[in-house]
Amino acid sequence: MAYDSRDIASFKNVWVYCEQRQGKMMPTSYELLSEGRKLANELNVELCGILLGDNIEELAQDLGKYGADKVYVYDSPFLKNYTTEGYTKIICEAVQEFKPEIMIFGASNIGRDLAPRCAARLHTGLCADCTHLDIDMPTYKDFLREASTLTEERISGLGVIKLFGEEHDINMDMKMTRPAFGGNLMASIVCPRFRPSMATVRPGVMKKVVLDTPHDCEIIHPAFELSEADFQTEVLEVVKAARKLVDLIGADYIVSVGRGISKDVEGGIKLAEELADVLGGVVGSSRAVVDAGWLSADHQVGQTGKTVHPKVYVALGISGAIQHQAGMKESGTIIAVNKNETAPIFEIADYGIVGDLFKVTPLLIDSIKKIKEED
Amino acid sequence: MKIIVTVKQVPDTSGRIAVNPDGTLNRASMQTIINPDDLNAVEAALDLKDELGCKVVAITMGPPPAEGMLRELMAMGVDESILVSGREFGGSDTYATSQILAAAIDTYGIDEDDIIMSGRQAIDGDTAQVGPQIAEKLGLPQVSYAGEIKKDGNTLTIKRILEDGYMMLKVKTPCLVTCIKELNTPRFMNVWDILNTYEKPLQVFDYEKLKDHPLMDKSTIGLQGSPTNILTSFTPPLKGAGTMLKGNGKETTDELAGILANKHII
Amino acid sequence: MDFNLSNEHKLVRKMMAEFTESVVKPITAETDRTAEYPRETIEKLFDVGIMGMCVPKEYGGAGADPLAAAIAVEELAKQCASTADILATHNGLCCDPILTYGTAEQKAKYLPMLTKGHKVGAFCLTEPNAGSDASKGQTECVLEGDHYVMNGSKIFITNGYVAEVFVVFAMTDKSKGTKGISAFIVENTFPGFSVGKHEVKMGLHGSPTAEIVFQDCIVPKENLLGKEGEGFKIAMATLDGGRIGIAAQALGIAEGALAEAINYTKGRVQFGKPISKFQNTQFTLADMELGCEAGRLLIYQAALKKAAGQRYTKDAAMAKLFNSEHAMKTTTKVVQMFGGYGYTNDYPVERMMRDAKITEIYEGTSEVQRIVISANMGL
């Protein structure tokens, strides 16, 4: 029977695209497997990983720890480096063969290159850069009660979506929630008429959970064919950045600087580094700082930068535009230092100090040092 | 040789935006701008035009007022524009949008040595999907996240930026490239082109013009052709007010460090 | 009658607003502090066709009209009056007289230099003893065979030490007073040309003002602009056009100061509410807005009359007088509104106040403008 993305009933199981680069698994893959496990449990189906690369057998073995029931492995020298056309071909053929109902990708540069291409070829919907996924309707409604300003009446009325005179029950559909319009608005998207329901998920948003008990995981090697003729691009080289990029996503403490450092850029960054050192964290920044070239792009927190949720986020001289808030407002504790008492950052800060960061930061460093020494 | 650049007019999300009581965006209250990443794509195209003397064509899908944006682009040096506009196209998600734009680009014509350029993503949806999906619909190779582009005959050498480094790629034209802001600094409009821009050719492609294209089908465009649907949109609640500490001297920072330590945060 | 700008004018405004925001604004305070000529900004203004914008396409310009030129100056002046001054002088006082009075050969030689050639232009009229009264000029220019020999000096020359093409006024026949004045195109490379003292000014620090000295300066005969004895007429007509530029500069300064005031008063909380909510503040801001709008209409009227080839001497004088006095009044009030902060260079308003003052003085003082207006009233 021909593949038909509208034949909803013929699709089953949750798939996670497990991205590896140069034989190393991207940490997001584990986050997605943990999230995928939750979705698969709610649907009472299997969680499967799909892994493409060259010599990657070992990586596959590891995925069971994060809840995968099966891993589909496509191992070939042709797949050593990521290419849009090679990877799209394999994934689309796999989807057509095994028909997963849900497929999630990490929203990395590669995930966001690959997923839309696959969705277009498979004629299905894709929701980009999701920050929250749900199947179970009551859980989703609870999420809305907490995370939205929607009225109870609107929330409890959700369950059916009417399209062109036809009603679609979306109780068991994946509800994909994501920021839109620069984080000013959140939207929940569904894909009720096509399968698989596809999503890319922001790295760092989902929590990685290692299972306590060993989990049986079957490794499958489906047949596939690839030849030179399948490739239109040639990878000349893959270069890892020589400079160590800041790991904002994994950090428990982040000290970010904003435009407020402009009167002494070097001094301001140095203070942030000192405070980060005392806390055992790293330095982040607002977009303005990166745009001005004061710090490299890997430091940027916010809508166009990284989403972080450290234990403590210290904002030094950051006014707190909505775009910046989009990347850090989920932080455990937010501390803001700003000269301007009306800065929006104070609206979301747990603790605010109105003052010059160049005066306050050295004092704060001393105070924290003192407390730590007392311990 | 020509370069077709896909562009989008978007609401300016840099300021605070207005939201209607029902959770939808109050578009009427917002200024529109040219999507920032698309300007990088336009600059990349104009750069190649300066070097090779090729034609640059801007294409957008949007309501008739989007003409203003196209005139601005032609005032930067773009030679021609296509406005894809029609009631039938409304409500399109990325899948349906790329279907329509691919049909429009194909109708305009793509030659062996042509390039299609897109911005990385648009600031209203931030999906980064339409570029790759146009490439798929046209059966062309794509290179996204281009941080450097060199053209030598029919071959492009492109640096694709990754989170942890980069990839050098070679691809033959025709192909689609998506551009990031690090690629270049978009130029300003210039007076010569400003005074000429309303004389430059601008074609409107409506549903009638495109309806016979194989990619065009009522079931694959517009709301009907969009696989994804919005279940609900909402604004997040404001976080409860935090504590503004008094003063900004040593006592204040000591107080803060004390609170953090008591809560075992540090 | 249409009070709306054309689409093209709107695009010029938008382009200049973007240019000013991203190129000019970040360095304005620094330019004021160091008094350094904003060379890169001017190069970029050449790149986008603003320097020399009214020169026809055949000579490398864009063929823009006087209104577009005024809008460009206005937008620049919102952030940097110095840059606006350099532009207004180049376009209004150097390109314009060469375009209007130059021979085909002069236009073909000099206008491309002033557009695609990225050479800055200047205008030399004022002398130590000949300010408002140009008839007392001491600079002489005597024909000797196939060239003129020029002697004398000019002061307060905008673009003085960066310009390469100068429109210079000198006496070819002292006995005839203003009828003995002639105009010349002089290059900075001509033998006997030199730059004298650089002026240290109260404001407009980024605008390069200098004395220009001619010592047996050799000026080729073919560089006579217009006919001998037409210099005064050329100077006065050029200044009519130049005054539109200064009016636009003054308007821009006032608008810039008003924008600062609005921003500041909305954020500054006193007695429990932003000071923009106090009626006293609101009335002051309303008056400023009114002055800007009225001033803008005077400028547009003068520019449109110039474009249409109508007589606009009085219109230009009114536009200049009104806008310069309004800019001075506005910036002074805005500094007051900012209180102590306004007097420091943490905020740009003290610079705006210093910059505004010159608009009441150069290209004809406010007193001269009143003379021009009243002379055109049939009194």
CA B224 to chain CA centroid, Å, is 23
Residue B237 is predicted with a pLDDT of: 72
Q: Which of C126, C41, C28 is nearest to C355 (CA)?
A: C28
Q: At what angle do helices C279-307 and C231-267 cross, to 10 degrees?
A: 150
Whole-angstrom distance, CA of residue A372 vs CA of residue B121: 45
Higher pLDDT, B73 or C341: B73
Distance CA(C98)–CA(C222), nearest Å, equals 13
Distance CA A119, CA B136 (A): 9
ipTM for the predicted complex comes to 0.94
Which residues 128-157 of chain B have a CB within 8 Å of chain A? 128-133, 135-137, 141-145, 157
pLDDT in tens, B181-220: 889 999 999 999 999 999 999 999 999 999 999 999 888 8
Measured CA to CA, the distance from residue B192 to residue B210 in angstroms comes to 33
Paired tokens of B226? 């969009």
Give the mean model confidence (pLDDT) for residues B141-147: 96
Q: Quick check: bond before A138 cis, omega within 30?
A: no
Q: For residue A140, which phi and psi values (nearest 5 degrees)? A: -65, -40
CB under 8 Å to C340, separation ≥6 — which residues? none
Which residues, including other chains, have CB under 8 Å from residue A369's CB and lie 6 or more apart?
Answer: A278
Full set of structural domains in chain B with CATH: 2-210 (3.40.50.620)
SS3 B11: strand
Q: Which residues on neighbouring strands pair with residue A219, listed in sequence order?
A: A71
With CA atoms as reference, the chain C residue closest to A343 would be: C267
- Supply the mean pLDDT for chain B: 91
C18 belongs to the catalytic site: no
- Extract the tokens encoding B120: 């990385």
Summarize pLDDT for C81-131 with one digit per residue, the tens: 999 999 999 999 999 999 999 999 999 999 999 999 999 999 999 998 887
What pLDDT is attached to residue C130? 82
Give the pLDDT confidence score for residue B238 in this predicted structure.
63
Give the pLDDT confidence of C186-242 residue by residue, as tens digits.
999 999 999 999 999 999 999 999 999 999 999 999 999 999 999 999 999 999 999
Rounded Cα distance between C103 and A137, Å, is: 83
The Cα C51–Cα C29 span in angstroms is 23
Q: Dump pLDDT digits (tens) for C318-331.
A: 999 999 999 999 99
Is pLDDT of C71 > 90?
yes
> pLDDT digits over C245-272, tens only?
999 999 999 999 999 999 888 877 778 7
Distance CA C181, CA C170 (A): 6
Which residues are A163's β-sheet partners? A166
**Residue A154 to residues A128, A266, B25, B228: CA-CA distances in angstroms?**
25, 51, 17, 21
* Other CB atoms within 10 A of residue B187 CB: 17
The average pLDDT across B143-154 equals 95
What is the pLDDT at residue A371? 85
* Partners of residue A253 on adjacent β-strands: A312
Q: Determine whether the interchain pair A187/B230 forms a contact, defined as Cβ–Cβ distance below 8 Å.
A: yes
Which one of B75, B189, B191 has the shortest CB-CB distance to C64?
Answer: B191
Q: Which residues pair with A312 in a beta bridge?
A: A253, A333
CA C361 to chain centre: 12
Which of residues 84 through 113 in chain B touch A, CB cutoff 8 A? Answer: 93-95, 98
A254: left (phi over 0), alpha (psi -120 to 50) or beta: beta
Chain C neighbors (3+ CB pairs < 8 Å): A, B
Decide the pairing of beta strands B243-244 and A351-354: parallel
Strands C147-158 and C209-220: antiparallel
User: If pLDDT is split at 50, 70 and 90, which confidence band does B101 have?
Assistant: very high
Q: What is the pTM of this model?
A: 0.86
Is the CB of B71 less than 8 angstroms away from the CB of C11? yes
Structure tokens at C148: 């003129």
Q: What is the pLDDT of residue C227?
A: 97
Question: Where do the domains of chain C lie, and which CATH numbers do they carry?
Answer: 7-114 (1.10.540.10), 121-229 (2.40.110.10), 232-375 (1.20.140.10)
Answer yes or no: do C8 and B194 touch at CB < 8 A.
yes
Contact at CB, C11 and B189, closer than 8 angstroms: yes
Given a contact cutoff of 8 angstroms between Cβ atoms, the answer to whether A325 and A183 are in contact is yes
- Report whether C170 contacts C185 (CB < 8 A): no
Per the prediction, chain C carries an average pLDDT of 95
**CA–CA separation, A108 and A106 (whole Å):** 5
Stretch B3-21: mean pLDDT, rounded? 80
CA pair distance C53, C57, nearest whole angstrom: 9
Amino acid symbol at C171: M
Instruction: Give per-residue pLDDT as tens, C1-38.
Output: 677 899 999 999 999 999 999 999 989 999 999 999 99
DSSP state letters, C157-222: EETTTT-SEEEEEEES-GGGGGGGEEEEEEETTSTTEEEEEEPP-SS-TTS-EEEEEEEEEEEEGG
Residue ranges for chain A with pLDDT beneath 50 = none
Instruction: Name the residue among A233, A311, A335 with its Cβ closest to that of B171.
Output: A233
Q: Which residues of C touch B (CB under 8 A)?
A: 7-8, 11-12, 14-15, 18-19, 47-50, 53, 57, 62-64, 68
> Which residues 226-255 of chain A have a CB within 8 Å of chain B?
232-241, 245
Question: What letter represents residue A46's amino acid?
Answer: E
Tell me the C-alpha distance between A75 and B96, whole Å.
Answer: 34
Instruction: For B195, name the nearest residue in chain C, comparing CA atoms only.
Output: C8
The predicted pLDDT at position B239 comes to 56
DSSP symbol at A306: B
* Domains of chain A, first to last: 8-230 (3.40.50.620), 253-374 (3.40.50.1220)
pLDDT at A375: 59
